[in-house]
Structure 1
Amino acid sequence: MAFWFATIVFFGTYILIASEKVHKTTAALIGSSLMLLFILQGPHHEAEQHADPVPAVIEQSMESTGGAPTFDRQTAEEGVTPAATELRQKSGRYDKLDSYARYVNFDVIFTLAGMMVLVNVLSGTGIFQYIAIWCAKKAKGSPIRTMILLVFATAVLSAFLDNVTTVLLVAPVTLLVASELSVSAIPFLMAETMASNIGGTATLIGDPPNLIIGSVAGLDFAAFLVNLAPFILVILVVYCIILKLYYGKRMHVTLEQRARIMELDEKAAITDPVNMWRGGIVILLTIFGFLIHGAVGLQPCVVAMAGAAVALAICKVNVDQALEKIEWSTLFFFMGLFVLVCGAEQAGLMRACGKLLQFTDGWNPLVIVLAVMWISGIAAAVTNNVSFTAAMVSIIAAFLAETPAFASVELQHLMWWGLALAVCLGGNGTLVGAAANLVTVNIANKAGNHVTFNDFLRFGVPVSLCSLVAASGYITIRYFLYC
């Protein structure tokens, strides 16, 4: 009975999220509340010592794997995850935690919150508007060169900032530039949206799905940077070449229109130079902290929150306003998803879904990874890459634990890299595939540049499909070189 109830709640919540009939945060919180009420055990439940409040079947083995995640197949076959086994040995360490604290991955939540505070401090200085205007002037008013520079700027910013925040900062200036050039803003906005999702794939903190994957798989910032960033840079270069070939002869402006762009003063966009330098130094130090956090044994959330605390302390900002601008809706959406997925896992749904992959028994590991990638890429586009990833990581973790073909750490990592590429790049496919897509379209519609669901498909599907083909090639090369 619990299994079927959890299944109905889980898939019903995802349908609500995908349909957009109910706000995604509301849907996630309703689903999580039902799981807490009827499936998950509370802090005073008589059987709580046998519960598994951690939705992951991963055991960190620092001595044997150098920090890489390994999976204990014996405990998985017995229905007890390594995480649960470890918890049982800690004499009730989690006994007094409230229900939400038992089931939410607060490493992800506080990493996002810390970076949001940092961005809020910097956004008030005008630095992001400066970058956008500088790109337009550096292109000397050429529409296609302006587009390419804005795409690169958006991708780089998205690698270190939240995607939604990046498009919120870049899109308004893009509208201004397009207006001065008397060209449609839609190609610019769509190109930047795709770039934000592509660039965000490069790092642990660039796209929320990566944070979820990194947290479950035990992969740190440096691992994402080394394994994904070079490939993403290649994708970005190819993407810009395609943009130039497609739009190069479709955008024409007069000398007068170019002159208006050159008259814009990027320095005037800087409203608070003191805080700009202070905040800039703090965010650079925070990024450095992410680079070394695995080596020094710090969690990403500690690095992010420390950076946020320092920024609030040394920058002359209104703390209340900086905290009010945190995207609380996004954070509560994540919390609801974590509880929802944990309830589905405890009811046995994730284990059942993992068994669906058993049809791949006897397949070459590379073929399995590629199949998972394409299924995940399409599913992430149809639903939402964050929602899908929150569920898929548990399924993949269970599958890896029970599949002898993935006994080696290298093959486990190959699966995680394939999943990260698939869900992040697949998010470009549809309007609902990634949060940045919805934000950009809302900004465009409010400015009178109407973009429909079908309009977005014409932009997103080719980019997403080509990216997934390239990602498949990259994973194939990695398999033959390293595995």
Structure 2
Amino acid sequence: MSWQLVAAIVVFAAAYVLIATEKVPRATVTLTGAALMVLIGATGGDDVFFSADTGIDWNVLFLLLGMMMVVGIARQSGMFEYLAVWSAKLARGRPFAILTMFAVITAVASAFLDNVTTVLLIAPVTLLVCQRLAVTPVPYLITEVLASNIGGTATLIGDPPNLIVGSRADLGFTDFLVALGPIVAILMVALIGLAWLMFRRQLHYDPQRATQVMALRQRETIRDRRLLVISLSVLAAILAGFLTSRVTGLSPAMVALIGAGLLVLVTRMEPAKIFADVEWETLLFFAGLFVMVGALVNLGVIKALGGAAAGAIDGHWAAGAAGLLIGSAVLSGVIDNIPYVATLAPLTQDLVDAGGAAAQPLWWALTLGADLGGNATAIGASANVVLLGVARRNGHPISFWQFTKYGLITTAVTIALSTAYLLLRYYL
């Protein structure tokens, strides 16, 4: 084992500990870690800036930037206040009913939008509802991001790792929905039950507050009807762009940036208002994290782990599928699932080619493990990081361990159910 490999693992582990303990700002940790990876020679300039496998994932960063700008502009219309009042009244001010409704909306939306975009759209509504009801938004926000990662598993476009798997395995939108839609529905029922068990003591019903909410008139919350119409039109166009990206050849990041640019052009809003809601710290955190993980990929660490798992299967496809699902969940809770899936996809392809129809479910094992494993920790999925940034920015910080203790419980239950589903449907 080379000294660079040892040093890179030490840097990554130290950065992870600092992120978990929150002694140092997250962006500072990952940017410092990225710099150290470059200094020890674990990665270089070409890898950092130009490599799709071992560098910064510009598609993710620009997708986030574009959607943050769109949300920031749409917010000025009063759209989110309207949705907040409407949803609170529909649930008659009952906290658990609101939590359930938001979780289901988030999961369904995440199947057709990427889960980061969904979190960016639902979080402002949640914060406003909780403000009206005078309750802490933390249980709602955590449940929503867990729901986004579960719901995004159902379709080709729901989560970036799905796009990687679909491209490598030549699987379409319908393939994902038919194979994973049923288990995602089951997992959402399980999540609602878990949310009740985990958060019921924090979901206090205040009849007086509920009465006040029921008396509100949501139409009065709209401040700019012209901006509302424009924002909804652009959001619809962005959704259409996401759904037709394979036809148009435009990546989700390009669709988001075009939508943001169109809103800027039409609304002529002041730059200070446009960029006020951009989570610059979150974007820098991701940039540093991509570099650190890319260094591990560059040195062969992740490939070696995948190769060891592939060798252990040795033709036992049912056990291999279960092992790949569980192993992917564990690793995706520690490192971002995008580079993980990008590394494991070629290895999975080799196994599927060798095993034929019996090995085909390995693609679903990889997808379920990577997507659901992202719920395990605060940095396991992009949506988790974005949501924690939004919560902190609005005065409701969620610590690494506060999120992770709920995420681990949810991941354990969903992975157990998914493993049983995979084995029952495809092997037993």
Tell whether the 8 Å contact from 1:197 to 1:428 is kept in structure 2 after alignment.
yes
Tell me the distance in 2 between the aligned counterparts of 1:18 and 1:176: 33
Tell me the distance in 1 between the aligned counterparts of 2:10 and 2:17: 10
Q: State the AA in 2 paired with 1:169.
A: P
Q: What corresponds to 2:11 in structure 1? A: 12
Cα offset for 1:262?
0.4
5+ long unaligned stretches in structure 1:
46-51, 57-102
Tell whether the 8 Å contact from 2:106 to 2:119 is kept in structure 1 after alignment.
no
Alignment of 1:225-374 (within 5 A): 228=180, 231-240=183-192, 253=205, 255-374=207-326
Tell me the distance in 1 between the aligned counterparts of 2:78 and 2:129: 14
| Alignment equivalent of 2:372, drawn from 402, 425, 430 | 425
Percent identity among equivalent residues?
29
Q: What corresponds to 2:25 in structure 1? A: 23
Tell me the distance in 1 between the aligned counterparts of 2:153 and 2:402: 24
Cα offset for 1:276?
1.6
Tell me the distance in 1 between the aligned counterparts of 2:311 and 2:403: 35
Tell whether the 8 Å contact from 2:153 to 2:184 is kept in structure 1 after alignment.
yes
- 1:226-268 Cα offsets, whole Å, 9 max, x none, are 6545643443244336656998899674654432120123223
Tell whether the 8 Å contact from 1:151 to 1:195 is kept in structure 2 after alignment.
yes
Cα offset for 1:313?
1.9
| Alignment equivalent of 1:464, drawn from 403, 411, 414 | 411
Alignment of 1:116-131 (within 5 A): 116-131=68-83
Tell me the distance in 1 between the aligned counterparts of 2:370 and 2:280: 23
| Alignment equivalent of 1:175, drawn from 130, 133, 143 | 130
Q: What corresponds to 2:385 in structure 1? A: 435
Q: What corresponds to 2:347 in structure 1? A: 399
Question: Number of residues paired by the alignment?
Answer: 416
Tell me the TM-score normalized by structure 2. Answer: 0.78
Tell me the distance in 2 between the aligned counterparts of 1:116 and 1:274: 20
Q: State the AA in 1 paired with 2:70.
A: L
* Partner SS, residue 271 of structure 1: coil
Q: Root-mean-square deviation (CA), in Å?
A: 4.0
* Partner SS, residue 314 of structure 2: coil
| Alignment equivalent of 1:476, drawn from 398, 409, 423 | 423
Closer, same or farther: CA 257–308 of 1 in aligned 2, 3 Å:
closer
- 1:436-470 Cα offsets, whole Å, 9 max, x none, are 564477479x46xx977776566444322222223
Tell whether the 8 Å contact from 2:376 to 2:404 is kept in structure 1 after alignment.
yes
Q: What corresponds to 1:33 in structure 2? A: 35
Tell whether the 8 Å contact from 1:17 to 1:24 is kept in structure 2 after alignment.
no
Tell me the distance in 2 between the aligned counterparts of 1:200 and 1:22: 31
Greater CA deviation, 214-223 or 134-143?
A: 214-223
Cα offset for 1:369?
2.9
Q: State the AA in 2 paired with 1:145.
A: A
Q: What corresponds to 1:55 in structure 2? A: 53
Tell me the TM-score normalized by structure 1. Answer: 0.70
Cα offset for 1:197?
3.5
- Please state which structure has a larger fraction of its residues in helix: 2
Tell me the distance in 2 between the aligned counterparts of 1:250 and 1:322: 34
Tell me the distance in 2 between the aligned counterparts of 1:104 and 1:454: 26
